[in-house]
Structure 1
Amino acid sequence: MALLDLLETYRQPLALVAGLSLVFYLLSRLHQQWRQHRFAKENGCEPVVGKIRNYDPFFALDRLYFLGKAAKERKLLENNIKRFKDYGNTHRGQRITTPMLVTCDPQNIKTFLSLKFNDYSMGDRIQIFGPLLGHGIFTSDGEDWARSRHMIRPNFVKEQVAHLEIFEEMMDDLFALIPADGSTVDLQELFFGYTIDSATEFLCGHNVHSLKKRRSGVVDGEPDFAEAFNYSLDNISKNGRYGPLMFLNQHPKAVESHRVCQKTMDQFVDKAIKLRENAGNEKVVDETAERRYMFLYGLAQQTGDRRRIRDEVLNILLAGRDTTASLLSNMFFLLAKHPETWAKLQEEVATLEGRAPTYDQLRNMKYLKYCLNETLRLYPVVPVNSRTAIKDTVLPVGGGPDGQSPVFVAKGTAVAYSVYAMHRREDFYGPDAEEFRPERWIDLRPGWEYLPFNGGPRICVGQQYALTEAGYVTTRLAQRYSILESRDPGPWEEKLTLTLCSHNGTLVSLRH
């Protein structure tokens, strides 16, 4: 009774407070809408006409179902292009409760990646990637991101990337796993093994030897880092599709995979910290040890924070492995389907007379560059991406009936962009934009309509490393094998996790 009496005493004041709060909220919303309307009018903005239709107007759950279904059918990117044809190069959508703008227009992409970089953040990337990657260059924003980039950039200067010995040391393992009798081999599996070995050697000075383990066939009972890394990345990509509902995608195996990856990196980090401490006492660091610790040792020289070092290495490992492996896998899928292109590539490689290429020789191989560029055009490693507006801002095109007027972007709006769709626009690449034709790069000089490694301040710091490794492996394979045949009768099908490769692998035959 005492509680009821107390509530009765304060009923009227509580009702007054609730009423005033509601009025204040409504007035605030009206003022915000008026301010946004005035901002949009001052900038000449027009509404975006095209909109993805949802049966669920509140949470767009039917959209989430559709994306999951398209992913299982391996048609996410195919449907992506269809939406742009149906709704225009810039259109509206919804992700659960978050409003979205979706674009494949280079003017808009240039704006939020570069010209108005500070108007946008990475959104919920830390929630999606964080369980594995922690706080690093790919998951951070603002000052944290700037510090990460400052720490990492010196490790990708030419003097570091030009050391090709790491790549050559592992070629014997790659060659040994390619059947000598010309029987079918999945190069995609081998490329992902090769690049995780080279990346851990380059970044940590400690090769995880996934190719050697495959060669020996010996199971040592230890958790496999490469397998754990694959599962972790697949789980993260699903979280990206679930968005705010990612709590529905909880699997014990994902937690264990994250733990295996982080524990492995922790062992390398501890060795780097010890080397740093010893270097301070001995004043001279053994040249071999310094080379082996390359990236990791460079980070350890800048900070003693073990967690920070581990997170940065895992962030770069993601790019160092997946970018190159996906590029190689897609390119050899295409080369095997186009024997005339393989023959032209071999003609260029023959000028080396069987010698391993130097860094400068790789950079001067034009047709190899055309093949790499064309592969990245058709199958960009990161085909779709997004940013989130952290203030009211404007994009230059997409509004009005003709789509040529500026567009108002409200704070909190997610802006998704499709490099995959942009790279296949016929107004940029001609009526044969869907075809693999490296020769188009003889005269092609694209700007923001070609974006294989992102752009603006967040452009990939390791792009030269990826291109160098991909070029080196391609050259060595072309020197060793004169015949490359496809053993996959079907067309390319997408396997989209955080990066893009072939669902069926790269099934080929290689012969001398």
Structure 2
Amino acid sequence: MSIQETVFDNYKKYGKVYGVNLGNRPVLGISDPQLVKEMNIKDFHVFTDRNDFSFNDELQDRSLSNLRGNEWKNMRSIISPTFSSGKMRAMHPIIIDCVHRLDQYLEPKAVNKETIEMKKTMGSLTMDVIAACAFGTQIDTYNDRKPSEFVRYGQKTFTVGWRLLVFILLMSFGKKVMKAVGFKLTPPSVTNFFSQAIQSIIVQRKSETNLKHKDYLQLILDAKNKTLDTSDDKDIIGSENSEQIYGQSDDKTDNKTINKIDITDTDVLASSFIFFVAGYETTGSLLSLLFYRLALDEKCQQKLYEEIQRFDGQYDDYETIAKMHYLEACIAETLRLYNPVASLQRIASQDYTIESIGLEIPKGMIVNFDVETLHHNPDYYPEPDRWDPERFMPYNRDKLVPYTYMPFGLGPRNCVGMRFALMEAKTATAYLVNKYHFFRTPKTQIPLIEMKMQFLRNFKSIDIVLGISDPQLVKEIMIKDFHVFTDRNYFSFNDELQDRISPTFSSGKMRAMHPIIIDCVHRLDQYLEPKAVNKETIEMKKTMGSLTMDVIAACAFGTQIDTYNDRKPSEFVRYGQKTFTVGWRLLVFMLVMSLGETVKKLVKFKLTPPSVTNFFSQATQGMYVNFDIETLHRNPEYYPEPDRWDPERFMPYNRDKLVPYTYMPFGLGPRNCVGMRFALMEAKTATAYLVNKYHFFRTSKTQIPLIEMKMQLLRNYKSIDIGIELR
């Protein structure tokens, strides 16, 4: 089992307060909200320290996470102001630059419809952000061929594997054994790399006397040199939204207090290293899991997109993203469902008694507050395994049970970098959701496979695909840069009819075909009239399909068929229906296609049933780019109340309100549907004739709303039943 599974299993076996042994050392597990509050807030002075052992690693031992007593209190008072609202506002443009670099990496992959491994991609973003915001340096984190050393050593930090097993084993023997063995949890090559990297940046800073940096390292150096300025630390409007969910940050330390505390060079290195350790894997994991959930839940993704649009798509304004409640809720729910750590550890600094249950905790005992249990307890979060951002919306917060949510810890020792992590996550999410559409692919794991023996919650891979839903980008690709994106696909259907069809339509030929369509509509009329007289319910999908099949047979093949014979359907109709009823063939085709062009050619699987291509043959003798028409056509920013059918939108007097390049039922640019004129002529002719003669109305069989069929190549519904009568 994973660490998270072990923690939750202990709760199910033993309850909200239980004891286990870590080697020869007892550990108390607690998941009672009232005790969580008392011990982390009211009696925090007893449970201040996180551990009482050495990591045998100076960077680890001197980091804020592992300092104890007054040393922790002093360093916290120095570091807290570096994450104030004012400092976050100054760093925000740096994060935006990092997101732009991510966008440059993602756009061609979205255009080519590549599957993206989000864990690696979001890890590259957070590494870029850390390098820029913590160390003031820009690195190439998106080079797939030659990964940056920052990325390589960053991944090594959390890929501890066997080292974690050995570390836990040694820790169970006590502090003396740990110190004597000298074993380090973090690989020495990692700490050596980051120590040298940080030291070289510090040396470079000393020579740049006229250049003022706005990154975290500079803030720590200013604190060391007694020159840290906290005068700009004003609260951000809307920040109370985050504080209501995650708790408050203590960033109010004044300059006089900071200047009384001495910081060593080791403290500077350790503080910079912990910025990396705390900010790389956790935020990258949060973002990849958030986009994974959005890809699985189209409604939530659309709601988030609509919220971002209400703020004019502003992701580059620190104050604006603080006001996006649904964005906040999506992040909060992701952190609840996928809390990075299973539990928060504290050490009792003195004997302590839990009065409510009469339990005595001796000095030095480890106490674990079980985050996993609290976040997944159905008493606090109904259907806890369901991702539901609505839990954290302002109008539902009164339903949340206090002290059951702690992804950033709780009380005075909560995560000092919480504001930074949230700012980074919100900025990246707002930008990407505003531009891209995320959706699942055959490679998307449902559910995700959790990795074992990981210090932080981790998954094997998170694969999704990005689509483009930006009208300006659609215009550029489909019109301006059409020569680059001429082809619809790079693969073969293994079917000559699919690969070779290229009909030609012109106004003259449409005019010549129009009388043929009129004849077809007359035959439809002959079929409908007796039904209208008897006021029978008509299944319109089948009936209009018969009309279009009659038109195609007459106009394309010059033959007349009996498409309205209910007792003995025409073979044209039967094989025509088979063309689009692909079902399992579509699943197999997508699977084979995902394995590459070489495999597909070897397998020679055909999407269209061979019987269909054989019938019509005898009768007649790169990369992907998906433009999200569904998103464009149903976006309330372009079409208010998008689910309402309103022909007024397209009347001449309203066309100036239409947003260009958001409407493309026949495609766009030189490769739009070549048969568009024919389809429109057929539809207009049939509609004008039928509406002129018949009145259509709903009946008891009319489905409202229509039931859409799954796994269909084209949008399809089970049945469309309406009534018909003569006018």
TM range (shorter): 0.7 to 0.9
Shift of 1:290: 5.0
Task: Give the equivalent residue in structure 2 for 1:138.
Answer: 65
Tell me which of 407, 418, 421 is aligned to 1:463. Answer: 418
Shift of 1:436: 0.6
Tell me which of 290, 314, 320 is aligned to 2:279. Answer: 320
Preserved contact between residue 229 and residue 258 of structure 1 (Cα < 8 Å): no
Tell me which of 254, 275, 295 is aligned to 2:187. Answer: 254
Shift of 1:357: 3.6
Deviation track 1:215-255 (CA, whole Å, cap 9, x = no partner) reads 5x3478xxx13322332333375465332359689589922
Preserved contact between residue 106 and residue 448 of structure 1 (Cα < 8 Å): yes
Shift of 1:481: 0.7
Deviation track 1:383-402 (CA, whole Å, cap 9, x = no partner) reads 322112222102355xxxxx
Deviation track 1:125-171 (CA, whole Å, cap 9, x = no partner) reads 65238354240211101111011111111111111112321122122
**Gapped runs of 5+ residues in structure 2?**
227-261, 469-727
Preserved contact between residue 132 and residue 232 of structure 1 (Cα < 8 Å): no
What is the DSSP-based 3-state SS (H/G/I as helix, E as strand, rest coil) of the residue aligned with 1:428?
Answer: coil
Tell me which of 390, 411, 415 is aligned to 2:349. Answer: 390
Task: Give the equivalent residue in structure 2 for 1:9.
Answer: none
Preserved contact between residue 196 and residue 321 of structure 1 (Cα < 8 Å): yes
Q: Single out whichever of 177-186 and 302-311 deviates more from structure 2.
A: 302-311
Task: Give the equivalent residue in structure 2 for 1:166.
Answer: 94
Tell me which of 222, 233, 238 is aligned to 1:298. Answer: 222
Q: Within 5 Å, give how 1:263-282 maps onto structure 2.
A: 263-274=196-207, 278=209
Instruction: Return the alpha-carbon distance in structure 2 between the equivalents of residues 82 and 196 of structure 1.
Output: 34
1:225 aligns with 2:150: yes
Shift of 1:372: 0.8
1:476 aligns with 2:407: no
Instruction: Return the alpha-carbon distance in structure 1 between the equivalents of residues 372 and 431 of structure 2.
Output: 29
Preserved contact between residue 155 and residue 294 of structure 1 (Cα < 8 Å): no
Preserved contact between residue 305 and residue 434 of structure 2 (Cα < 8 Å): yes
Preserved contact between residue 229 and residue 261 of structure 1 (Cα < 8 Å): no
Task: Give the equivalent residue in structure 2 for 1:201.
Answer: 132
Q: 1:344 to 1:505 in 2, by over 3 A?
A: same
What is the DSSP-based 3-state SS (H/G/I as helix, E as strand, rest coil) of the residue aligned with 1:92?
Answer: strand
Q: 1:238 to 1:194 in 2, by over 3 A?
A: farther
Shift of 1:189: 0.7
Q: Within 5 Å, give how 1:431-470 maps onto structure 2.
A: 432-442=383-393, 443-445=396-398, 446=400, 447-470=402-425
Number of aligned pairs? 415
Preserved contact between residue 270 and residue 306 of structure 1 (Cα < 8 Å): no
Task: Give the equivalent residue in structure 1 for 2:654.
Answer: none
Task: Give the equivalent residue in structure 1 for 2:20.
Answer: 93
Tell me which of 466, 470, 483 is aligned to 1:510. Answer: 466
Deviation track 1:19-64 (CA, whole Å, cap 9, x = no partner) reads xxxxxxxxxxxxxxxxxxxxxxxxxxxxxxxxxxxxxxxxxxxxxx
What is the DSSP-based 3-state SS (H/G/I as helix, E as strand, rest coil) of the residue aligned with 2:397?
Answer: coil
What is the DSSP-based 3-state SS (H/G/I as helix, E as strand, rest coil) of the residue aligned with 2:225?
Answer: helix
Task: Give the equivalent residue in structure 1 for 2:375.
Answer: 423
Preserved contact between residue 135 and residue 215 of structure 2 (Cα < 8 Å): no
Deviation track 1:176-232 (CA, whole Å, cap 9, x = no partner) reads 333131221111111111112212211221234323xx15x3478xxx133223323
Task: Give the equivalent residue in structure 2 for 1:60.
Answer: none
Shift of 1:85: 1.2
What is the DSSP-based 3-state SS (H/G/I as helix, E as strand, rest coil) of the residue aligned with 1:136?
Answer: coil
Task: Give the equivalent residue in structure 1 for 2:35.
Answer: 108
Instruction: Return the alpha-carbon distance in structure 2 between the equivalents of residues 292 and 250 of structure 1.
Output: 30
Give me the TM-score of the superposition, normalised by structure 2: 0.53
Deviation track 1:45-95 (CA, whole Å, cap 9, x = no partner) reads xxxxxxxxxxxxxxxxxxxxxxxxx2xxxx332232122111111111111
Instruction: Return the alpha-carbon distance in structure 2 between the equivalents of residues 147 and 252 of structure 1.
Output: 26
Instruction: Return the alpha-carbon distance in structure 1 between the equivalents of residues 184 and 82 of structure 2.
Output: 35
Q: 1:130 to 1:121 in 2, by over 3 A?
A: farther
Q: 1:228 to 1:125 in 2, by over 3 A?
A: farther
Which of structures 1 and 2 has the larger relative contact order (alpha carbons within 8 angstroms, sep 6+)?
Answer: 1
What is the DSSP-based 3-state SS (H/G/I as helix, E as strand, rest coil) of the residue aligned with 1:490?
Answer: coil
1:191 aligned partner, one-letter code: M
Instruction: Return the alpha-carbon distance in structure 1 between the equivalents of residues 345 and 185 of structure 2.
Output: 28
1:315 aligned partner, one-letter code: I
Deviation track 1:439-471 (CA, whole Å, cap 9, x = no partner) reads 122312442111111111111121111111101
Q: 1:151 to 1:93 in 2, by over 3 A?
A: same
Preserved contact between residue 4 and residue 341 of structure 2 (Cα < 8 Å): no
1:335 aligns with 2:320: no
Give me the TM-score of the superposition, normalised by structure 1: 0.74
What is the DSSP-based 3-state SS (H/G/I as helix, E as strand, rest coil) of the residue aligned with 1:510?
Answer: strand
1:184 aligns with 2:115: yes
Instruction: Return the alpha-carbon distance in structure 1 between the equivalents of residues 56 and 467 of structure 2.
Output: 41
**Gapped runs of 5+ residues in structure 1?**
1-69, 279-284, 398-404
Please tell me whether Structure 1 or Structure 2 has the larger radius of gyration of its CA atoms: 2
What is the DSSP-based 3-state SS (H/G/I as helix, E as strand, rest coil) of the residue aligned with 1:119?
Answer: coil
1:500 aligns with 2:425: no
Q: Single out whichever of 412-421 and 129-138 deviates more from structure 2.
A: 129-138
Instruction: Return the alpha-carbon distance in structure 1 between the equivalents of residues 8 and 147 of structure 2.
Output: 44
Instruction: Return the alpha-carbon distance in structure 2 between the equivalents of residues 413 and 425 of structure 1.
Output: 26
Shift of 1:374: 0.7
Preserved contact between residue 134 and residue 215 of structure 2 (Cα < 8 Å): no
Q: 1:497 to 1:294 in 2, by over 3 A?
A: farther
Instruction: Return the alpha-carbon distance in structure 2 between the equivalents of residues 203 and 320 of structure 1.
Output: 10
Q: Within 5 Å, give how 1:355-394 maps onto structure 2.
A: 355-394=314-353
2:284 aligned partner, one-letter code: A
Q: Single out whichever of 114-123 and 164-173 deviates more from structure 2.
A: 114-123
What is the DSSP-based 3-state SS (H/G/I as helix, E as strand, rest coil) of the residue aligned with 1:451?
Answer: coil
Shift of 1:380: 1.6
Instruction: Return the alpha-carbon distance in structure 2 between the equivalents of residues 232 and 292 of structure 1.
Output: 20
Instruction: Return the alpha-carbon distance in structure 2 between the equivalents of residues 252 and 357 of structure 1.
Output: 39
Q: Over the residues paired in the alignment, what is the CA RMSD in angstroms?
A: 2.7
Q: 1:313 to 1:293 in 2, by over 3 A?
A: closer
Instruction: Return the alpha-carbon distance in structure 1 between the equivalents of residues 220 and 359 of structure 2.
Output: 44
Preserved contact between residue 347 and residue 367 of structure 2 (Cα < 8 Å): yes
More helix by share: 1
Identity score, percent: 20
